[in-house]
């Protein structure tokens, strides 16, 4: 998915589905694309575009830095450390920039590593990106590692070494030690990050299980229970406001409905839209809805729609449980 978005930063879920089929022969639904984008905090089109624009800037400066341009490397080093979206650093951003580099400059893929690159998770992709920056520094002798020799000289004073060859050997040894220390620190950090990523994935899997449970409750197979709870609750409220005396026999049922609604709320499951509300929209406004009506002829065209089903979302993790259903009002 990241690979196809690299070609068009404005690409929406439906176009992603088409491109995945065309480029990779991969069969995926719009709902699956939406779920994946939400899972990596890219569900909002504007923020998704910012991440890919940032990655494009990094890739452009990288293309010059890899040729030995020190000024370009300094720019590359500066941009790559910046947060990708509104001052917020995203876990996925180094993963995106790796793919962006390979997409923009396919000649770099001399060992045909693209397939392996696409399979990397956020943490391994981030440390691969660090290694790429290190490799450029090492080839062109750009400053990256702390100069341990200078630190020692400042502390102990300069010593004269009679043979230049021995001095060179000493310098090389110090540089190697510095590199090994850097590698050790990075490996330790990577292991800690991998553990954190595992913990996050474990938490996300629990959230997905909860979302799948409520998705089943609101499926047509079980009579769209969440939607029906809203309908029943609103119907009862209307009857009570009109001073209609409800039969005592159904009090137990109404208590159960109230308890079920409270359970849904306590689980942070909330409706997305208000049922029966009417609004004017453009196509992008209902991209994540099931739309019943005539096609939009342009991105700017406006249509009046009515909300038939609210749709539901797990608020804590921004996971969509079911899509709102809307119908064109003519």
User: So what's the pLDDT on residue 311?
Assistant: 94
pLDDT for 317? 65
Report the alpha-carbon distance of residue 116 to residue 230 in Å, rounded.
Answer: 47
Other Cβ atoms less than 10 A from the Cβ of 70: the count is 13
**Distance, CA of 276 to CA of 305 (rounded, Å):** 10
More confident residue, 147 or 79: 79
CA distance 211 to 232: 22
pTM, 2 dp: 0.63
Q: Is the pLDDT of residue 160 over 50?
A: no
Q: What are the phi and psi torsion angles at 292 (to 5°)?
A: -115, 105
Which of 43-47, 92-96, 161-165 comes out lowest in average pLDDT? 161-165
The answer to whether 98 and 120 are in contact (CB under 8 A) is: yes
Q: In whole angstroms, give the CA distance from residue 82 to residue 57.
A: 11
Residue 146 has pLDDT above 70, yes or no: no
Confidence bin at 144 (pLDDT 50/70/90): low
Residue 92: both structure tokens together: 């996925």
> Phi and psi at residue 307, in whole multiples of 5°?
-80, 120
Residues 281-285: what's their mean pLDDT? 92
User: Of the ranges 35-44, 162-171, 207-216, which one carries the lowest mean pLDDT score?
Assistant: 162-171
How far is residue 139's CA from residue 281's CA, in Å, rounded to a whole number? 55
Please state, in angstroms and rounded to a whole number, the distance separating the CA atoms of residues 218 and 270.
12
The whole-angstrom separation of Cα 257 and Cα 179 is: 65
Per-residue pLDDT tens digits for 20-71:
999 999 999 998 898 899 889 898 899 999 999 999 999 999 999 999 999 9
pLDDT confidence of residue 303 = 96
| Averaged confidence pLDDT in the chain | 87
**Is pLDDT above 70 for 206?**
yes
For residue 312, the SS3 value is strand
Q: Which two tokens stand for residue 131?
A: 């290694």
**Residue 84 pLDDT exceeds 60:** yes
Q: What is the mean predicted confidence (pLDDT) over 228-234?
A: 90
Residue-level pLDDT at 167: 54
Task: Dihedral sign for Cα 200, 55, 285, 32, please.
Answer: negative
Q: How far apart are CA 223 and CA 203, in angstroms?
A: 29
* 168 pLDDT tier (thresholds 50, 70, 90): low
The set of residues, in sequence order, having a beta carbon less than 8 Å from that of 79 and lying 6+ positions away, is 54, 57, 58, 61
Checking if the pLDDT of 152 tops 60, the result is: no
């Amino acid at each position: 998915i990241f690979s196809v978005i690299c070609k068009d930063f404005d690409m929406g879920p439906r176009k992603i589905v088409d491109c995945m089929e065309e480029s990779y022969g991969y069969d995926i639904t719009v709902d699956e694309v939406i779920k994946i984008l939400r899972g990596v905090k890219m569900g909002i089109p504007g923020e998704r575009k910012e991440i890919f624009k940032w990655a494009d800037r990094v890739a452009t400066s990288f293309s010059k830095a890899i040729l030995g341009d020190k000024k370009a490397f300094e720019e590359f080093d500066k941009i790559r450390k910046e947060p990708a979206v509104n001052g917020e650093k995203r876990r996925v951003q180094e993963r995106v920039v790796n793919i962006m580099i390979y997409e923009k400059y396919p000649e770099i893929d001399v060992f045909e590593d693209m397939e392996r690159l696409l399979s990397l998770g956020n943490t391994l992709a981030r440390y691969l990106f660090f290694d790429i920056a290190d490799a450029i520094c090492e080839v062109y002798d750009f400053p990256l590692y702390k100069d341990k020799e200078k630190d020692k000289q400042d502390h102990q004073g300069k010593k004269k070494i009679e043979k230049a060859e021995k001095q060179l050997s000493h310098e090389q040894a110090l540089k190697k030690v510095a590199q090994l220390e850097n590698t050790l620190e990075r490996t330790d950090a990577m292991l800690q990050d991998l553990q954190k990523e595992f913990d996050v994935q474990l938490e996300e899997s629990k959230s997905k299980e909860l979302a799948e449970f409520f998705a089943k409750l609101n499926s047509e197979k079980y009579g769209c229970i969440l939607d029906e709870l809203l309908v029943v609750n609103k119907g009862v409220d209307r009857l009570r406001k009109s001073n209609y005396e409800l039969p005592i026999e159904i009090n137990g049922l109404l208590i159960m409905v109230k308890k079920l609604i409270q359970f849904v709320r306590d689980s942070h499951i909330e409706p997305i839209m208000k049922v029966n509300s009417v609004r004017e929209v453009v196509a992008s406004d209902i991209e994540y809805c099931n739309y019943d009506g005539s096609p939009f002829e342009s991105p700017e065209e406006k249509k009046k729609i009515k909300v038939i089903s609210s749709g539901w979302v797990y608020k804590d993790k921004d996971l969509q449980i079911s899509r709102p259903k809307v119908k064109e009002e003519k």
